[in-house]
Amino acid sequence: MKKFTPFKFQMVLLLGLFMCNAMLTHANPDRSIQPEESQLFITITGTVLDEDGLPVPGATVVIEGSNTGTVTDIDGRFSIEANEGDILQVSFIGYQSQRITITNQSSLNITLQEDQSDLEEVVVVGYGTQRKSDLTGAISSVTSKDLQETPAGNFLEQSQGRLAGVDIVRANGSPGSPVQIRIRGNRSINASNDPLYVIDGIPTSANISDFNPNDIESMEVLKDASAVAIYGSRGANGVVLITTKRGKTGKAVISYDGYYGVKQPIQDLNLMNGREFAAYSRIARGHAGDDSSFDSNFLAPLEIENLQAGRFTDWLDLAIRTGSQQDHQVSVSGGTDKINYYVSGSFFNEDGYIPGTNFERTSVRINLESQLTDKLRLGLSGTVSVSERNQMSNAPYNNSLGYSPLVGPTDEEGNFLAFPNPREGLLANPLLNYQPFQYIDETRRNRIFANIFAEYQFNEHLKFRVNYGPDFNQARRGTYTGRLEGNINRGSVSNDLDFAYTQENILSYDRTFGKHALNLVGLFSIQASRFEGSSLSGQDIPIEKSLFYDLGSSSTITGIGSSLGEWGLMSYMGRVNYRFDDKFLFTLTGRADGSSRLADGNKWAFFPAFSAGYVLTEEEFLQGSQVSFLKLRGGYGEVGNTAIDPFQTLGGLERTTYIFGSNAGFGYGNNLIPNPDLRWEISKTVNIGLDYGLFDDRINGSLEYYVTNTSDLLLNRLLPITSGYNSVLQNIGSTRNSGWELSANANLINRPGGFRWDINMNVFSNREQIVELFDGQSDDVGNQWFIGEPVNVFYSFDQAGIWQSDEADLAADFGQQPGDIRINDVNGRDADGELTKEPDGNINADDRKVLGSTVPNWSGGLTNRISFKGFDLSILVHARMGQMLRSDYHNLGGNNWQGRYNSINLDYWTPDNPTNAIPRPNAGEAPLYSDAVRYFDGSYIKIRNIALGYNFAPGLISKLGLTSARIYSTVNNGFIFSPYTRVDPETSNGIVGGGSPLTTATYIFGLNLKF
């Protein structure tokens, strides 16, 4: 399926062979050289580093079996006298000890690995942290090391396939395109299903591409209601907690992280050449594919001339290119006992495979924390980003798939032809929009996002914190279309300004006494947002180069608009965490939210949650067994959702026209029915989980089962035309999501010689279904909402194949003939007009059915990490199985299958080629039931990421002033295995083609340096 250029394949292979050769050299040193025996003392100097290449001050270095020892200084350096054959033992709290046998070397560089069980990790849970072993809710997490294995423009792409219960899909391959994330399915039909993002304690829900993923230290995903209830209504669809990097006490560390890569579209569309296109055109008109005697009736003289001369054009090859991706970041971090800091600046650029498409982001982050006194701490965590996204119309890509290969883009002198096919005088050159000043679609964004906090520690147990989080978001989008196609130019510009802020007051109490551990958190917060928008469009702009910057000079102003929106949310929250004897765990949460989006009487709602855990391995009957950790937990919680536009409870007005006498007048009329009874969508979740650890936690993970029932869905109810309105927003209907999740982490090999092999696995399944709609159990066929089915389904005729030549009589009974699409007869009606779900010998609208949905039966990911000496290799495999897709490359409706506007080489039926999928082309009409051929199994298994790196020994790079250096090469999205082979089947809406840009495979080379 994937096409590789020989050059890139050879380069990746060469790099792999080089690193494997170097690895073998390390693994098999020359054993013939033996050190001479000596009892003389040797002065050994060295440096102790952590896995990130940072110095470890205070590490203990002793000669085993003696009283001789020392500790490392602030730079991780040490010096000690030893004899050959002595064993140095190097240790530090939180790290695995190392034993090194002294030979004749005088310099050592030692890297310590963390000695922390996954179950003892501290994770962020919202307004605090907890040991993973103490959690009672459902949480998945990844670290910066996991994310950086997949170089990408945003952290969601980096997380694909790594989180149980979290389905992440990129919309398409356009640079800067959004990424869809669903945490345990779609709960709502009309309101948003996007999660809440909380970055350094401040919530946001928009434009995550503004944030530099290299600044992220960890990411936690809160999945069940007992975990997300602390965020109330804004956490209805799950919460993604982002913690950015902080400085550590010690000398300043300067880092550079950068990479450059090329991007190739993943496609195997197989366009027709000139001879195949001519045969297709002939067959569509009832002629034999090799009969050229009638060509002049439907091919232009130029096409016939090129056909005879063997001159053909691959329009798709001209319409796409090799893209690129690069990222460069410089950061400085460090600290003292009074202040720590992390400052970074980054530049990211992605050029798409479609000319004119690009995403570029420049960002700066500043994280400062200052301990002003023993009790008062102040801090700032903020980012500023400036980005620009350029998009291209669908025309070049779409038209390249339907244009005649018997004409070219230029004349004989090389001059560009706007309309190169004399047979199709209204069909423009597919490359038209690539010409200068012909098509511009540019969006520029400016973003300031921060958390400014002050924290006062009253005593060792009680502290008070104030957060203030401003979020300023400004965007300008300008579009321009030149004169080449319609002899008139057009432009538009829109400006949006959004300012939101969060203010939180948090009081927390933390105390451990005897067998008891208690944590209390209380919160009062206010969130508000105001957004303004304005737009202008015009046509016949006198100066082309002014683009959309001088629309006031347009001969015709075609549109003027403006908008204003405001909303606010006030909240009170309390949480109690209690642990007894490290065995029994309890969490109780309550949050009250008041939303301005709802009317009086319904603004406020209370969301409770409770969860508990029981650590079975604290019982005597499990102690000393191979089961090192076992915890059973369960929880229940409620959350709400009001992710709808403001003012929905109020009536709306719009400008309209009316006739007064013989003249038209302007006035205002209602366009929105007020509904003061709108209330919260409510989701109620039950979650049961089991956390386990085996063999001293070398194998650990969790198993989850959950059910979420969402009621009072916010839906637009259709109204009769006599009402004067199309619909009214009401609370009607309900959905259910249920499923299971399994995650496992294992350290398979960890040898003292430096060889380590770890795996991380997750697999999950979510069943999504609509339980109730407007009037109970009735389906809404118009919106394709069906009881018992997921929210997004494909509803059409079910293709049984193609009518074959020996089935002519049977086909005639259905008014068809050989070569036509054959449909399964699945339904009829009885005498009372009720559906029987039995064949009736007729094909009509009753025979349509739900064919499938965009929801997979199961998804999962498997990561293998192998390290040896300075080498590291990681491979991430991601699977998404059981979902359906619609291929608009197989859209045979309209004129697409009449021998004119298609050049994709589909294996269509002829008497001599009796295939069973694609009907014969017909210039007289579109195929009957043509929609049925577009549906395919969208399952896929991807090798999402392969990363191979080498960490240089500190002794080799210390003279350059470096403390660590790593080079690496990655292949992202490089290999795909799927029953659908035309393009990458990954898509957020289940549709491929139709102008949706292809996804790409990316080949990257990168460098990490620390000074």
pLDDT in tens, 3-16: 434 334 334 433 44
Q: Name the 3-class secondary structure at 922.
A: coil
Q: What is the pLDDT of residue 7?
A: 38
Q: Which residues of the chain have pLDDT under 50?
A: 1-38
Residue 297 located in a structural domain? no
Degrees, nearest 5: CA angle 651-233-230: 160
Which CATH number goes with the domain that contains 86? 2.60.40.1120
Q: Indicate the residue type of 212.
A: N
Using CA atoms, how far residue 24 sits from 21, 34, 329, 342, 447, in Å, is: 5, 20, 33, 38, 49
Q: What is the pLDDT of residue 625?
A: 83
555: exposed, middle or buried (Cβ count in 10 Å: 0-12, 13-18, 19+): exposed
Q: CA 209, CA 170: separation in Å to the nearest integer?
A: 12
Could you tell me if 118 and 207 are in contact, meaning their C-beta atoms sit under 8 angstroms apart?
no
Q: What is the pLDDT of residue 606?
A: 93
Strands 107-111 and 42-49: parallel
For 469, phi then psi, to 5°, come to -125, 95
Residue 1010 located in a structural domain? no
Short-list 449, 238, 211, CA closest to 348: 211
266: exposed, middle or buried (Cβ count in 10 Å: 0-12, 13-18, 19+): buried
**Which of residues 77, 111, 145 is at a domain's end?**
111
Residue 942 located in a structural domain? no
Map 1-13 to HEC letters: CCCCCHHHHHHHH
Residue 820 located in a structural domain? yes
How many CA atoms, within 13 angstroms, populate the side-chain half-sphere of residue 351?
A: 11
- State the DSSP code for 319: H
pLDDT digits (tens, 9 = 90+) for 152-188: 989 999 999 999 999 999 878 889 888 999 999 999 9
Q: What is the pLDDT of residue 34?
A: 40
Q: What is the pLDDT of residue 132?
A: 81
Residue ranges making up the domain that contains 831: 799-847
Count up the domains in the chain and report the number. 2
Residue 135 located in a structural domain? no
Encoding tokens for residue 22? Answer: 């170097």
Degrees, nearest 5: CA angle 496-500-506: 170
Handedness of CA 934, 935, 937, 942 (dihedral sign): positive
Q: What is the pLDDT of residue 33?
A: 34
**Which of residues 847, 880, 908 is at a domain's end?**
847
Residue 203 located in a structural domain? no
CA end-to-end distance (rounded Å), the chain: 43
Q: What is the pLDDT of residue 73?
A: 82
Q: What is the pTM of this model?
A: 0.86
Residue 804 located in a structural domain? yes
620 Cβ contact list (under 8 Å, min separation 6): none
What element of type H or E holds 24? helix 6-27
Residue 779 located in a structural domain? no
Q: Name the 3-class secondary structure at 53.
A: coil
pLDDT digits (tens, 9 = 90+) for 294-314: 999 999 999 999 999 999 999
Q: What is the pLDDT of residue 259?
A: 97
Using CA atoms, how far residue 409 sits from 189, 256, 300, 428, in Å, is: 46, 45, 15, 10
